[in-house]
């Protein structure tokens, strides 16, 4: 192991004020959903311009599942999903009884190929789920044009895109249904958590019912249960973490862009790795995921990963193509069906990228990459 401090591919950034705030919540005696959740939801709405309704969830997976329920997606329906995304994007479609219809993605941007999405529409198609993978906005003009043509709901998987902008507007400040994740490795974390952004108070109210047992509370203290819903409410402890994170989010994202641009500068000739799409200043850079050219140097991915680990640098793998999983193979999807997604899934390594990194850390990663690719066994 290299004698320098180990550099993981990600690390959460929590300030002392937030840590103290969490302690205050724990001492308050009100630790589940309460005033901190309300404050966090208000803060998120303000961050997105104040014209949207935000409802928080225990995790983004539950948020996406209930967003589909709210949108009326169910048995017999089809939902268009990119083949390159985290498994939860498609899993929640299956969970509500619908069928995820997979399409390939662009090799560099990782966004779904809209010509394939258009060809995938059938009379059963009810929704399309673009994914803003790694913090880069999908082609929303094309997505919403297709949705309008076929009267589809749009559920944006913005799990990795809090703070991302599309044509100068923040993701979640416009559109149909937008779902964020606040998992520990996200640009804004609540440890675990998620949120849904919608345009109307009516849909926000339905999300409240769906996240807490289907219950509507009455002023006299009684309640009604209108449907057999699940339980996904965020805690005040988690919300307090989010309140602290929200203050720093723009700064976190600026630092992520600075680090990503340094990677592009040092790896520009692509002799060591095929780089992801750079995007514009609206890219929030949740992750930096190039395709190292280890086969060119006679290596496999695990060998390179192990060599980098020995240099004190941690690399992640995000993600495998959905058709490479046994569950989706049983649904009829086959190897070779989505060549770009499969190449990404088989070759990508996630490089270190988090706000407390320094530019010198990026230099170290790139120097180590060259050494590990070219060193003899």
Domain of 92, CATH number, reads 3.40.640.10
Residue 84 resides in a domain: yes
Q: Specify the 3-state DSSP secondary structure of 87.
A: helix
Q: What is the pLDDT of residue 376?
A: 79
Distance CA 111, CA 141 (A): 13
Residues 141 and 284 in one domain: no
Q: What is the CATH number of the domain that holds 333?
A: 3.90.1150.10
Supply the residues annotated as catalytic.
186
Cis peptide before 319 (omega within 30 of 0): yes
> For the whole model, what pTM was predicted?
0.97
**370-374 long-range CB contacts below 8 Å, 24 or more apart?**
370/272, 371/311, 372/304, 372/307, 372/308, 372/311, 373/272, 373/292, 373/293, 373/294, 373/297, 373/299, 373/304, 374/297
Q: What is the pLDDT of residue 128?
A: 99
Which of 244, 264, 299 is the C-terminal boundary of a domain?
Answer: 244
174 membership: H or E segment, kind and range: none
Q: What is the pLDDT of residue 94?
A: 98
* Strand 169-170 with 165-166, pairing: antiparallel
**pLDDT tens for the 377 residues of the chain, in order:** 556 899 999 999 999 999 999 999 999 999 999 999 999 999 999 999 999 999 999 999 999 999 999 999 999 999 999 999 999 999 999 999 999 999 999 999 999 999 999 999 999 999 999 999 999 999 999 999 999 999 999 999 999 999 999 999 999 999 999 999 999 999 999 999 999 999 999 999 999 999 999 999 999 999 999 999 999 999 999 999 999 999 999 999 999 999 999 999 999 999 999 999 999 999 999 999 999 999 999 999 999 999 999 999 999 999 999 999 999 999 999 999 999 999 999 999 999 999 999 999 999 999 999 999 998 76
* Strand 99-103 with 125-128, pairing: unpaired
E strands of 164-277, at which residues? 165-166, 169-170, 177-181, 194-198, 215-217, 223-225, 273-274
Distance CA 221, CA 160 (A): 39
Residue 11 resides in a domain: no
Q: What is the pLDDT of residue 2?
A: 57
DSSP for residue 226: -
Residues 226 and 255 in one domain: no
Q: Specify the 3-state DSSP secondary structure of 153.
A: strand
Please compute Rg for the chain using Cα positions. 21
Residue 7 resides in a domain: no
**Contact by Cβ (8 Å): 171, 161:** yes
Residues 258 and 213 in one domain: no
Residues 224 and 310 in one domain: no
Closest CA to 253 of 41, 51, 47: 47
Q: Which domain holds residue 217?
A: 16-244
Q: What is the pLDDT of residue 34?
A: 97
Cα separations in angstroms, 220 against 30, 34, 217: 22, 19, 8
Residues 240 and 263 in one domain: no
* Token reading at 345: 């899934």
């Amino acid at each position: 192991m290299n004698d320098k401090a180990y550099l993981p591919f990600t690390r959460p950034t929590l300030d002392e004020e937030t840590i103290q705030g969490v302690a205050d919540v724990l001492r308050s005696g009100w630790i589940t959903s309460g005033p901190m959740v309300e404050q966090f939801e208000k803060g998120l709405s303000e961050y997105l311009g104040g014209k949207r309704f935000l409802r928080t969830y225990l995790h983004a997976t539950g948020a996406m599942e209930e967003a589909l329920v709210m949108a009326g997606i169910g048995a017999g329906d089809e939902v268009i999903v990119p083949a390159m995304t985290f498994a939860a994007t498609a899993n929640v479609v299956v969970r509500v009884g619908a069928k995820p219809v997979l399409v390939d993605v662009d090799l560099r941007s990782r966004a779904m190929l809209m010509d394939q999405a258009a060809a995938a529409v059938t009379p059963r198609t009810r929704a399309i789920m673009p994914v803003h993978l790694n913090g880069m906005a999908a082609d929303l003009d094309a997505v919403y044009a297709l949705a309008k043509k076929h009267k589809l709901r749009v559920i944006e998987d913005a799990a990795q895109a809090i703070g991302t902008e599309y044509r100068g507007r923040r993701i979640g400040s416009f559109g149909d249904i937008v779902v964020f994740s606040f998992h520990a490795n996200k640009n804004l974390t609540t440890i675990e958590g998620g949120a849904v952004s919608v345009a109307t108070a009516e849909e926000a109210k339905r999300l409240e019912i769906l996240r807490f047992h289907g219950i509507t509370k009455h002023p006299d203290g009684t309640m009604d249960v209108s449907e057999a819903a699940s339980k996904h409410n965020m805690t005040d402890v988690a919300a307090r973490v989010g309140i602290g994170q929200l203050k720093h989010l723009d700064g976190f994202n600026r630092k992520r862009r600075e680090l990503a641009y340094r990677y592009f500068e040092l790896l520009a000739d692509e002799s060591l790795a095929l780089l992801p799409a750079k995007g514009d200043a609206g890219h929030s850079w949740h992750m930096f995921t190039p395709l190292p050219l280890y086969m060119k140097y006679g290596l496999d991915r695990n060998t390179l990963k192990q060599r980098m680990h020995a240099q004190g640098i941690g690399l992640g793998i995000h993600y495998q193509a959905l058709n490479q999983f046994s569950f989706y193979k049983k649904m009829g999807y086959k190897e070779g069906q989505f060549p770009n997604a499969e190449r990404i899934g088989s070759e990508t390594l996630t490089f270190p990228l988090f706000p407390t990194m320094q530019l010198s850390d990026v230099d170290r990663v790139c120097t180590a990459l060259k050494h590990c690719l070219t060193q003899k066994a």
